Structure 1
Amino acid sequence: MNPTWLDFLAIPLGRLLKLIYDFLHGANIPGSYGIAIILLTLIVRGLLLPLYIKQIASTSKMAEVAPRIQEIQQKYKGDQRKMQEEMLKLYQETGYNPASGCWPLLVQIPILFALYYVFQNPLVYVLGKTHQYVRDLVQGKAGYAITQTIINEAQKLGLDMHFFGINLAQKELIVLPILSAATMFLSIWFSTNSQKRFNPQYAQSQSNAMAEGMNRTMMIFSPLMSYFIALQVPAGLVVYWTVTNLFSILQQFIANEVVYKKLKHKKEEEEKKKQLENQAKMQQGKDGVNKEQEKLGKESSDEDLEKQGQAEQEKEEEQKREEQMRKKELEKLKQQMTRSQGSSKKKKK
């Protein structure tokens, strides 16, 4: 047995598994190896939880951005360069990274392969024996005889790999493969329904027949693939995969109750903020119109006052002219009366 490029992961995972097993076995807990695998699974999934939360946020952001992406694709379907430029602008504007949702899956793949080596070769990765030790042990053997020799040696060295009557270092063809497929189906079904329930925009973007067909296909073929893979690998890896599926369901439940509700509350606050900003802009527009109207009203009132003042001034001037004319007429009458009196006195003399 030769070293692999995944030894940097397989060795620490195997040592951690051995540490948990020693604690449980020392406490005389039956099925210590299987329980140790379950606890190891929970530890690994717990470490990956921040990536899972980022994946949820990315999925939610994708649902928001999807309609705008479709608009850009329709608008610039004849100009790939312009389409890419507009896509980059959209990603920069919204902070959406298309690759961010892939990290949890990409990280799980090397962990899965590393655990495969751990459960297949517990002598090296759990008990700390060298690869040369195993090569010398299985020399002259081939196929399944190699695995059986490794398992027998590990058990001689005190590693009890039985869990409810199942040897987790060997293949198990009935119970665990079925459990693996069933939990995979439940995980996909629960995740899809949760997305539709808590993220309406995601549900709308998935409303076309092609997307629905892909979901149904995944819900059928992923469990079948999980079942057939489980028939080919050590049972310990199937336990890990089954517990991972159950943990995924638990993660989705937590996401529904905490993350999605928080994102929904954040969206509601953002929408409320936008509404307030729009109302403020509308109010500013109304205030501007009112000020303009007040200004126009003030100008018109000033003009009216000016006209009224001019009219009054003209009226006063008219009255003055009339009064002057009356005074002139009175003076003429006085002069005429004075003349008539003088002429009458001359006649009497």
Structure 2
Amino acid sequence: MFKALAGFFGQIIYIIYDIIPFEYCKYGISLIIFTIIVRTLMLPLAVKQIKSQEKMNEVQPLINDIQRKYKNDREKLSQEMMKIYQQYNYNPLSGCLPLFIQMPIIISLFAVIRNPLTYMLKGKEIAGYVINQSTIENLINKIPEGELIRGYEQVSAALKFNLIDFNFLGINLGMVPTINRGLLFGSEMSTYLPLLIIPILACVTTYISSKMMSVRNAATKKDKKNKKGKRDEKDEALESMQSNMLLIAPMMTLIFSFQFPAGLGFYWTVSNIYQIVQEIVIRKYIRKKKEG
């Protein structure tokens, strides 16, 4: 399923790439347009998820009270929590559904951005372009993902197509970022040094996006103290876990950005920026609707 989706998304990206009338930064612009299209199509899921989070924010203080009151009576605790859910028409699993639906899409996109030639170009097109062994070697040297082309030794040039230009504002999105000093400050400094911008932007935007996604309002924070004014151990543990997650996500993004072509980190950056703006607009709309 993931391979089929990846092939479908890859063809869409290539169609966008192909119809862009100018040559400059085509691959990067294609990723930006594709990200906006995908994120916009997933907007109803995002709205549903944010609404669920807002509802959770509303009922969380009541749930905390019930958990403290009936902490030694699990049956009564379950009954009271069900009453709260019914009263506020809240389903604790409703916020998870959009995430489950998005996972196949995200995994497939990961494959496309990681190996653009594999999913964006058809085998017969590559075969039509590759005429002899010297052409094969040139392609392999030029493009990191060129391993796909190995094996085509003698084929006729029946089809012509333009190879993907991974350059975007002086950054080769087909190259893998590195922290190798020899590459960063050696003869290829102009190629590898600008690549560092991508992992940094991906990491920073992931942190901002994760920070905004962690729902905490004043009422919930205030409720983290019990009637004696002491902090509840369970709340402390939860808050600690949330703080750790805010750091883990950006760090994982940073690590992966140094393992795969810069196009992946670029996609994450664009996607995160879209999500940040989306979060601000949707939450503002929902709260304005409540007040009105």
In structure 2, how many angstroms separate the alpha carbons of the residues matched to 1:76 and 1:99?
Answer: 22
For residue 169 of structure 1, the aligned residue among 174, 177, 191 is: 174
The one-letter amino acid of 2:268's match is W
In structure 1, how many angstroms separate the alpha carbons of the residues matched to 2:114 and 2:53?
Answer: 36
In structure 2, how many angstroms separate the alpha carbons of the residues matched to 1:56 and 1:34?
Answer: 29
CA offsets 1:299-320 (integer angstroms, 9 cap, x no match) = xxxxxxxxxxxxxxxxxxxxxx
The one-letter amino acid of 1:162's match is N
Unaligned runs of 5+ in 2: 128-132, 137-142, 153-159, 179-195, 226-234
Unaligned runs of 5+ in 1: 139-144, 267-349
For residue 158 of structure 1, the aligned residue among 163, 166, 186 is: 163
2:194 pairs with 1:200: no
Instruction: Tell me which residue corresponds to 1:35.
Output: 29
Instruction: Tell me which residue corresponds to 2:186.
Output: none
Cα deviation, residue 12, structure 1? 1.9
Question: What percent of counterpart residues are identical?
Answer: 37
In structure 2, how many angstroms separate the alpha carbons of the residues matched to 1:112 and 1:225?
Answer: 16
Cα deviation, residue 212, structure 1? 4.1
In structure 2, how many angstroms separate the alpha carbons of the residues matched to 1:190 and 1:94?
Answer: 24
Instruction: Tell me which residue corresponds to 2:83.
Output: 89
Instruction: Tell me which residue corresponds to 1:60.
Output: 54
The 5 A counterparts of 1:1-349 are 5-24=1-20, 27-129=21-123, 147-150=145-148, 158-173=163-178, 174-192=196-214, 195-196=215-216, 199-205=217-223, 209-263=236-290, 265=291
In structure 1, how many angstroms separate the alpha carbons of the residues matched to 2:77 and 2:122?
Answer: 55
Size of the alignment, in residue pairs? 244
Q: Would the aligned equivalents of 1:166 and 1:172 in 2 still touch at CA under 8 Å?
A: no
Rg: which structure is higher?
1
| Greater fraction of residues in helix | 1
Cα deviation, residue 185, structure 1? 1.9
Cα deviation, residue 160, structure 1? 2.0
TM-score, with normalisation over the residues of structure 2? 0.72
In structure 1, how many angstroms separate the alpha carbons of the residues matched to 2:205 and 2:113?
Answer: 21
RMSD, matched Cα? 3.1
TM-score, with normalisation over the residues of structure 1? 0.61
The one-letter amino acid of 1:181's match is C
- SS in structure 2 at match of 1:100: coil
Residue 56 to residue 237, structure 1, CA distance change in 2 (3 Å): same
Q: Would the aligned equivalents of 1:67 and 1:205 in 2 still touch at CA under 8 Å?
A: yes
Cα deviation, residue 147, structure 1? 3.4
